[in-house]
Amino acid sequence: MKLAICNICPRKCTIKEGGVGFCNARDNVDGVVTCINYRCVTSLALDPLEK
């Protein structure tokens, strides 16, 4: 089992292989921290035309 340490935020999660971090945005694939939501829409906002 390979463990990976995520250095993205101050929590420094230790992620087991196949697991996800506290943020649910990073996972461990073969000992490498990868982004789960890469190339996905993560937020959406509507602005009025009158602005």
* pLDDT 10s digits, 35-45: 998 888 888 89
The pTM of the full predicted model, rounded to 2 decimals, is: 0.68
Distance, in Å, from the CA atom of 28 to the CA atom of 2, rounded to the nearest integer, reads 8
Instruction: Using the predicted structure, report yes or no on whether residue 51 has a pLDDT greater than 80.
Output: no
Residues 35 and 26 sit within 8 Å (Cβ to Cβ): yes
Half-sphere exposure of 2 (CA within 13 A, CB side): 10
Residue-wise pLDDT tens digits, 15-32 = 999 999 999 999 999 999
Amino acid at 51: K
Domain residue extents for the chain: 3-35
Distance, in Å, from the CA atom of 23 to the CA atom of 40, rounded to the nearest integer, reads 16
pLDDT at res. 15:
96
Band (50; pLDDT cuts 50, 70, 90): confident
Average pLDDT over residues 10-14: 95
